[in-house]
Chains A and B, each alone.
Chain A
Amino acid sequence: MNEGMIDGMKLNRVISMFAILIASVVLISGCGNKSSKEISKEKKQEITYASTSDAAGLSPIDTNDSISSNVTMQVYETLFIQDPETMEIKPLLAESYDNPDENTWTIKLREGIKFHDGTPFNAEAVKYTFDQLKDPDRAAPRASLLEPVDSIEVKDEYIVELKTKKPYGPMLAALSHTNAAIVSPTADKEDDINKDPVGTGPFVFEEWEEGDHITLRRNEDYWRDSADLETVTFKIVPEMSTAISMLETGEVQFIDNLPSDLLPRIESLNDVKVQKSEGTRVSFLGFNMEEEPFTDLKFRQAVAYGIDQEAYVNQLNGLGIMNESLIGPKVFGYKEGAEDVAYPFDKEKAKQIIEENGYKGKKITLLAANRDNYKKMAEIVQSQLTDIGLDVKIETMEWATFLDTARKGNFEMTFLGWANSTADGSELLYPNLHSDTIDASNYTRYSNPEFDKLVEESRNNVDQDERLEKLNEANIMAIKDAPWIVMEHGTVSAAYSKSVDGLLISPNGQWSLYNVSRK
């Protein structure tokens, strides 16, 4: 009955207005499209990296997260650096070092280097940085890196001496850590380097629009040859699938930490190269070593026999490596064959132990954070442990709640990971499994005096060969004692435009853009 209340002409007019609107949008889009293609042809020496979140800050002293490190690594430099291929530690801002005795590290610095603000790089700058890192008032999140250091003394303009309370084996690894990078004392005193960073690195900070992007430009006065890239942009793209679309359209040229479920899509892209290599990260199932039945080695062995890591690793599209050693192959302290003492997948044996020890039908809660691959791990492990006769319930939590819960020991079994960014086994075993660190980073609350002693010996020794032996012994002891069941050793991964040359992802997932260029 309402038909005809408006005549056809009026309706047509409305429809044609819409058509014009849509056509003009298309036209506008068409115009702009051309220019974006032109830009890409020019191959300017610039790169945009899609970062999943914003940096927490840009001061190495005041941050401790990988997103911030990605930026600070380009702006600041450390005294020593790990070779991204071999993980061998080499001097960077340092020229050489010497140990006159076990508790003394005399470090000779390179001369003639200036911070971006013109402040000379010297022993004073090193002392200032390390004092700040250790200062309780500053509350540096990675103060623990230099915790064994007792005093820092300037011996000469270019010689600094670190004294430790006890011999400290991982010293060079600690000094290579991005959070031990040297900052300009002038800038730190006068300004907030967390907002306006000043280092000696190949790139100079230009702009940070919080939540949107960070821009760096080439340091023209760099002490080595200047970098090829003129501009580096860290664009914040929280959604991985959006970042992949941006990589496809050329809005960004580089993404890393590729999620295994999206890998097939990334690998199918034209003009995109994927880099995957063995990393230092380890992911594991940890028991609460203060709770029954996890205190029983038999029970832990049964779980270890019951878990088929391969079933999990096979789902990662090549982004995970199976090796049951706690210290992974890319970490100092690993000796080939250590994994042989682990309890390999043997369902029947697991079932038998469970039955013989009266654990059949035992109810267990498996805590999993709802990020990374933890939920996937939980589902696979739940089904495998159900197969051997346990009754496993999964409890998932968001990350901040999880961290708090796990740290307090309010769990039975859970999945954890450790990035091993120093790639030194002592820095894996001490914070995670030494009894000193219960209530802190030793989430599984493992306490074994014999093991503690080996870890201490590996830390309190500056002879690297002896350290390797001690770490290997400690590793084997922990594999046998099974407070953790290793799920996988991570791979580091990145996808980037084929026009990007010279990018190398280090086994700890970090990368420097110094040697990168666009061709």
Chain B
Amino acid sequence: MISLVARRILQLILLLLGISFIVFMSMYIAPGDPATVIAGPTASASDLEAIRTNLGLDKPVLEQYFNYLGGILHGDFGYSYQTGQTVTDAILTRFPNTLKLAIASMIVATIIGIVAGIISAIKQNSWIDVTSTTIALFGVSIPNFWLGAMLILIFSVNLQWFPVGGLNESIFSISGIKQLILPAITLGTASAALIARMSRSSMLEIIQSDYIRTAKAKGVKQKSLIWVHALRNAMIPVITVIGINFGSLLGGTIITEQVFAINGIGRLMIDAIASRDFPIVQGTVLLVAAIFVTVNLIVDIIYALIDPRISYD
């Protein structure tokens, strides 16, 4: 296990190095000049030149890249071209919001997904099963921005149960929880649907297996049959889905953050791309990549813990 973690961490470092190079070069090659965006269309040629020199954009690209890498080794991820804020600060102030949102969505998705999946499986072909699989199909298909806008119109504007947007209150307060509910549902729906489908098929497979039939024949109670014998095995593929989904939820909050006016990493990234704020783009992409790889590693470890047959040594 320890060698697995060490190997993965080494891979992570190499991966991040590769990603940083690709992102740096692609931002450099991509059309669009940060100075033009900062100065706006009204700026004169000399205004632009001064801004470029100021940002160090007049240096050769490889020199810029190695300066950047050198900075990272000292924990300096650079400054935002737009606001002058350090990349670390910009990320640290926004990451808690994205994390809150991703965790809340994951909780919503996991509870709804697993419960719906299991009920569907044990009540296979009943009306509950049909309803739940149909809803799951819609859940996977509905685009986030539409669902978010609809939830706002129904629950915020008409019923006035929740605020329209923002995520700046403590999650330990009622207003904080209320701010989180609609975005979490919006972001979590697709994952809930996916988890439901996965749980259903996995559970169906398990409850039809020989060992369950044997257990049933031996008179094991239904409750322990489902929750003890079947669930643990059925959950192995589901955990993979949950893990991978959590990684993508953390990186995929862009639209939900946009619709609900949440100040998170997704919005920071999209704004930075639009304004060619290279250091911020680099920082956020590296963060999302690191999270994705780490979450996958954690999933692998949980795998081994759940299923004793899996060993990485």
Contacts and interface: CB of A to CB of B under 8 A. Distances in A.
Nearest to A10: B223
A245 B165 CA distance: 9
Given A5-B207, A242-B152, A405-B31, 14 more contacts: A6-B226, A28-B174, A192-B84, A194-B83, A210-B83, A210-B85, A210-B90, A210-B263, A242-B149, A243-B261, A249-B160, A400-B274, A401-B32, A441-B43
Nearest to B255: A239
B161 interface: yes
B26 interface: no
Contacts of B170: none
A14 B112 CA distance: 11
Nearest to B161: A29
Interface stretch (A89-97, A105-113, A137-145): A137-145
A237 B263 contact: no
Contacts of B208: 2
Nearest to B181: A25
For the complex of A and B, 5 pairs with smallest distance between CB atoms: A400-B32, A29-B161, A139-B50, A211-B263, A440-B45
Contact of A431 (B42, B82, B159): B42
A164 B32 CA distance: 35
Contacts of A192: 84
A147 interface: yes
B161 A33 contact: yes
Contacts of B83: 54, 56-57, 194, 210
B47 A32 contact: no
A141 B121 contact: no
A29 B40 contact: no
Contacts of B222: 5-7, 10
Nearest to A410: B31
A30 interface: yes
Choose among A1, A400, A403, A431 the residue with the greatest number of B CB atoms under 10 Å from its CB: A400
A56 B115 CA distance: 46
Please indicate which of the listed interface residues A139, A251, A416, A419 has the most CB atoms of chain B within 10 Å of its own CB: A139
B174 A32 contact: yes
A313 to B, nearest CB: 23
A404 B36 contact: yes
24 contacts: A10-B222, A18-B115, A32-B178, A36-B160, A54-B271, A56-B38, A141-B40, A141-B47, A143-B46, A143-B50, A209-B93, A210-B83, A235-B261, A237-B261, A242-B165, A398-B32, A398-B274, A401-B32, A403-B33, A403-B36, A403-B41, A404-B31, A437-B45, A441-B42
Nearest to B45: A440
Contacts of A248: 157
A211 B123 contact: no
B197 interface: no
B94 interface: yes
B109 interface: no
A57 B38 CA distance: 11
Contacts of B162: 29
B88 interface: no
Contacts of B53: 139
A192 B122 CA distance: 64
Interface of B: 30-33, 36-48, 50-51, 53-54, 82-85, 90, 93-94, 115, 119, 121-124, 126, 149, 152-153, 156-157, 159-166, 168, 174-175, 177-178, 181, 204, 207-208, 222-223, 225-226, 258-261, 263, 267-268, 271, 274-276
Nearest to A37: B160
A502 interface: no
A407 B36 contact: yes
B126 A3 contact: yes
Contacts of A464: none
A500 interface: no
Contacts of B54: 139
Contacts of B90: 210-211
Given A3-B126, A437-B44, A404 B174 contact: no
A241 interface: yes
B165 A246 contact: yes
Contacts of A11: 119, 123
Contacts of B149: 241-242
B157 A245 contact: yes
A392 B38 CA distance: 32
Interface of A: 1-3, 5-7, 10-11, 14, 18, 25-26, 28-33, 36, 53-54, 56-57, 64-65, 136, 139-144, 147, 192, 194-195, 209-213, 235-239, 241-243, 245-246, 248-249, 251, 397-401, 403-405, 407, 416, 418-419, 431, 437, 439-441, 443
A180 to B, nearest CB: 13
Contacts of A31: 174
Nearest to A269: B157
Contact of B258 (A239, A403, A416): A239
Contacts of A235: 166, 261
A235 B271 CA distance: 16
A242 B182 CA distance: 13
A26 B161 contact: yes
A144 B47 contact: yes
Nearest to A55: B83
Contact of B163 (A213, A236, A249): A249
Given A10-B223, A53-B271, A249-B163, A139 B47 contact: yes
Nearest to B82: A56
B168 A212 contact: yes
Contacts of B161: 26, 29-30, 33
B40 A32 contact: no
B42 A245 contact: no
A192 to B, nearest CB: 7
B187 to A, nearest CB: 15
Contacts of A238: 258, 261, 267
B55 to A, nearest CB: 9
Contacts of B51: 139, 141
Contact of B153 (A195, A209, A245, A251): A245
Contact of A33 (B41, B160, B263): B160
A57 B82 CA distance: 8
A210 B95 CA distance: 12
A284 to B, nearest CB: 13
A437 B46 CA distance: 10
A29 B155 CA distance: 10
Contact of B45 (A7, A29, A251, A439): A439
Contacts of B175: 32
Contacts of B82: 56-57
A32 B271 CA distance: 33
A64 B39 CA distance: 6
A2 B121 contact: yes
Contacts of A418: 41-42
Given A142-B47, A147-B44, A249-B156, A29 B178 contact: yes
A400 B124 contact: no
B32 A440 contact: no
A251 B156 CA distance: 10
B43 A64 contact: yes
A251 B162 CA distance: 11
